[in-house]
Structure 1
Amino acid sequence: MKIEQLYTGCLAQGAYYIESDGEVAIIDPLREVQQYIDKAKANNANIEYILETHFHADFVSGHVDLANETGATIVFGPGATTDYDMHSAKDGEVLKLGKVTIKVLHTPGHTLESVTYLLIDENGKDHAIFSGDTLFLGDVGRPDLAIKSDLTKEDLAEMLYDSLRHKIMPLADDVIVYPAHGAGSACGKNLSKETVGILGEQKKTNYALRQNMTKADFVKEVLDGIAPPPQYFAKNAMLNKMGYNNFDNVLQTGNVALKPEEFEAMANHESALVLDVRPQADFIKGHIPNSIFIGLNGGFAPWVGALITDINQPLILVVPEGKSEEAITRLSRVGYDNTLGYLEGGIDAWRNAGKDIEALASISAEEFADKAKKQSLNILDVRKDGEYQSMHLEEAQHLSLDFINEKMNEVDKNKTYYVHCAGGYRSVIAASILKARGFNNLVDIAGGFGAIKKTDLPTTDFVCPTTL
Structure 2
Amino acid sequence: MSPLPSSTSSVQIQQFYDKGLAHASYAIRSGRQVAIIDPARDPQPYYDFADEHEARIVAVIETHPHADFVSSHLEIAEETGATIYCSKLVHATYPHHSFDDGDRIALGTVELHAMNTPGHSPDSISILLIDDLAQTRAVFTGDTLFVGDVGRPDLREDELVGGHQREQLAVQLYHSTRNKLMTLPPTTRVYPAHGPGSLCGKTTSPDLDSTIGKELKTNYALQPMTQDEFVKVLLEDQPFMPKYFGHDVMLNKQGALPFEDSIRRVPRPLMDTPVEPGILIIDTRPAAEFRAGHLPGAINLMDGGKFETWLGSIVGPQEPFYLLADSQIALDTVIRKAAKIGYETNIKGALLTPHQLPATSPTTDVEHVRQQPQDFTIVDIRNRTEAQHPIFDNALLIPLPELRERVREVPTDKPILVHCAGGYRSAAGASILEAALPGVPVYDLGEAITTFQTQSAHV
In the alignment, what sits opposite 1:466? none
1:275 paired with 2:276, answer no
The corresponding residue for 1:325 is 332
Name 2:349's counterpart in structure 1.
341
Give the 5 Å matches for 1:87-102.
87-102=97-112
1:238, distance to aligned residue in structure 2 (A): 0.3
Q: Residue type matched to 1:157 in 2? A: A
Structure-1 separation of matches of 2:339 and 2:91: 23
Task: Give the whole-Å Cα distance in 1 for the aligned partners of 2:326 and 2:54.
Answer: 38
| Deviation (angstroms), 1:227 | 4.3
- Residue by residue over 1:94-143, the C-alpha shift from the partner in whole angstroms, topping out at 9 and shown as x without a partner, is 11111111111110111111000111223322111110000011111111
Contact 1:253 1:341 in 2 (8 A): no
2:174 and 2:193 map into 1 onto residues whose CA distance is 19
Q: Quote the residue 1:157 is aligned against.
A: 170
Classify 1:319/1:128 alpha carbon distance in 2 versus 1 (closer, same or farther; 3 Å): farther
Does the Cα contact within 8 Å between 1:362 and 1:446 map onto a contact in 2? no
Is 1:365–1:447's contact at 8 Å kept on the other side of the alignment? no
Which residue does the alignment assign to 2:8? Answer: none
Given the alignment of the two structures, is residue 381 of structure 1 paired with residue 375 of structure 2, yes or no?
A: no
% same residue: 37
Q: Which residues of 2 match residues 28-47 of structure 1 at below 5 A? A: 28-47=38-57
Shift of 1:362: 2.9
- Asked whether the equivalents of residues 15 and 30 of structure 1 are also in contact (C-alpha less than 8 Å), the reply is yes
1:447 and 1:277 map into 2 onto residues whose CA distance is 17
Counterpart contact for 1:255–1:325, Cα < 8 Å:
no
Q: Deviations over 1:205-225 (max 9, x none)?
A: 111111x31111111111122
Deviations 1:250-273 (A, max 9, x none): 21122635221x2x2x433xx542
Aligned counterpart, 2:400? 401
Structure 1: gaps of 5 or more residues? 462-468
Give the Cα–Cα distance (whole angstroms) in 2 for the partners of residues 88 and 304 of structure 1: 34
Q: Secondary structure at the match of 2:363?
A: strand
Which whole-Å CA distance do the structure 1 matches of 2:98 and 2:270 have between them? 45
Q: Provide the alpha-carbon RMSD of the alignment.
A: 2.1
| Structure 2 equivalent of residue 308 of structure 1 | 315
Output one character per residue of 1:207-248: Cα deviation in whole Å (capped at 9) or x when no partner: 1111x3111111111112224522211111000012333322
Which digits, 9 at most, give the CA deviation of each residue in 1:179-206, with x for residues without a partner? Answer: 1111211111111122111211110111
Query: For residue 465 of structure 1, what is the aligned residue in structure 2?
Result: none
| Contact 1:404-1:430 at 8 Å conserved across structures | yes
Corresponding position of 1:234: 246
Give the match's secondary structure for 1:102. strand
1:198 and 2:211 aligned = yes
CA distance, structure 2, for counterparts of residue 257 and residue 356 of structure 1? 17
Give yes or no for contact 1:76–1:89 (8 Å, CA) kept in 2.
yes
Please report how far the alpha carbon of residue 289 of structure 1 lies from its aligned counterpart in structure 2 after TM superposition. 1.6
Cα distance in 2, alignment partners of residues 272 and 33 from structure 1: 31
1:257–1:77 CA distance, 2 compared to 1 (3 A): same
Relative distance call for 1:257 and 1:44 in structure 2 (3 A) is: farther
Which of 206, 209, 225 is 2:222 aligned to? 209
Residues 17-416 of structure 1 correspond to what in structure 2 (within 5 A)? Answer: 17-146=27-156, 148-210=161-223, 212-254=224-266, 256=268, 258-260=270-272, 262=273, 264=274, 266-268=275-277, 271-320=278-327, 322-338=329-345, 339-344=347-352, 346=353, 350-351=354-355, 355-363=356-364, 365-372=366-373, 376-416=375-415
For 1:246, give the aligned amino acid: P
Asked whether the 8 Å contact 1:176–1:197 carries over to 2, the reply is: yes
Q: CA contact under 8 A between 2:72 and 2:255: conserved in structure 1?
A: no
- 1:299-355 CA-to-partner distances (Å, cap 9, x unmatched) read 1111111110143524332244512222111101111022243323x3xxx22xxx2
Cα distance in 1, alignment partners of residues 338 and 203 from structure 2? 26
What amino acid maps onto 1:424 in structure 2? G
The more displaced of 310-319 and 196-205 is 310-319
Matched position secondary structure for 2:60: strand
TM norm structure 2: 0.91
**1:443 maps to 2:447:** no
Structure 2 unaligned spans of 5+: 1-10
Amino acid in structure 2 at the alignment position of 1:284: R
Summarize the Cα distance change of 1:322–1:257 in structure 2 as closer, same or farther, 3 Å threshold. Answer: farther
Amino acid at match of 2:50: A
Residues 143 and 193 of structure 2 are in contact (CA less than 8 Å); yes or no, is this contact kept in structure 1?
yes
Letter in 2 for 1:18: I
Using the alignment, how far apart are the partners of 1:161 and 1:371 within structure 2? 50
Q: Which amino acid letter does the alignment assign opposite residue 357 of structure 1?
A: P
Mapped contact 1:13–1:180 kept (Cα < 8 A): yes
Name the CA distance, whole Å, in 1 between partners of 2:388 and 2:154.
24
- Paired amino acid for 2:237: G
Name the CA shift for 1:364/1:170 in 2 (closer, same or farther; >3 Å). Answer: farther
Shift, 1:367, TM fit: 4.6
- State how many pairs are aligned: 444
